[in-house]
């Protein structure tokens, strides 16, 4: 059973560009959450998608947007990249109730030059 997968593994962009990150959830999971992990810090919640809708959003600007597809996979889009957007972006999937743990993918390392 494949776990959570993310692509690409690494990405280098320049300021002002746009980027799209992709995530496939663990089999049987219907909920996808995105987190940003800056170097030396804990993950910060960006947003969560359920039934193709953004269910909750963290304290991130509108430059961060997402999408969930009917097969539960998800995309994270970041527009007008800033140097401060350089981080590890983690996707997590879960199923059902709030008591269930989230399973994390390996992450996408984004570097903005």
Stretch that binds other proteins, among 11-19, 20-28, 70-78, 104-112 (CB under 8 A): 104-112
Q: Does 32 bind other proteins (CB under 8 A)?
A: no
| Euclidean distance between CA atoms 83 and 99, whole angstroms | 36
Q: Does 7 bind other proteins (CB under 8 A)?
A: no
| Minimum distance, C-beta of residue 109 to other proteins, in the bound complex (Å) | 8
CB distance 4 to 27 below 8 Å: no
Q: Show the tokens assigned to 57.
A: 């959003």
> What are the Cα distances from residue 50, in Å, to 73, 77, 79?
10, 17, 22
Q: Show the tokens assigned to 41.
A: 């810090």
| Euclidean distance between CA atoms 77 and 79, whole angstroms | 7
| Minimum distance, C-beta of residue 66 to other proteins, in the bound complex (Å) | 14
Q: Which is nearer to other proteins, 71 or 99 (CB)?
A: 99
* Of the candidate residues 22, 75, 86, 106, the single one contacting other proteins (CB under 8 A): 106
Residues of this chain that interact with other proteins (CB under 8 A) are: 4, 33, 35, 40-45, 48, 55-56, 58, 90, 92, 98-99, 101-107
């Amino acid at each position: 059973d494949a776990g959570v997968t993310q692509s690409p593994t690494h990405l280098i962009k320049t300021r002002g560009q746009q980027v799209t990150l992709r995530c496939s959830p663990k089999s049987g999971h219907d909920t996808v959450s995105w987190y940003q992990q800056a170097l030396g810090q804990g993950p910060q919640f960006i947003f969560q998608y359920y039934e193709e809708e953004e269910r909750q959003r963290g304290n991130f600007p509108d430059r961060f947007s997402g999408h969930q597809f009917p097969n539960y996979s998800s995309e994270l889009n970041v527009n007008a990249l800033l140097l401060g957007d350089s981080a590890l972006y983690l996707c997590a999937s879960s199923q059902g109730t709030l008591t269930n743990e989230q399973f994390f993918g390996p992450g996408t390392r984004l570097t903005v030059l």
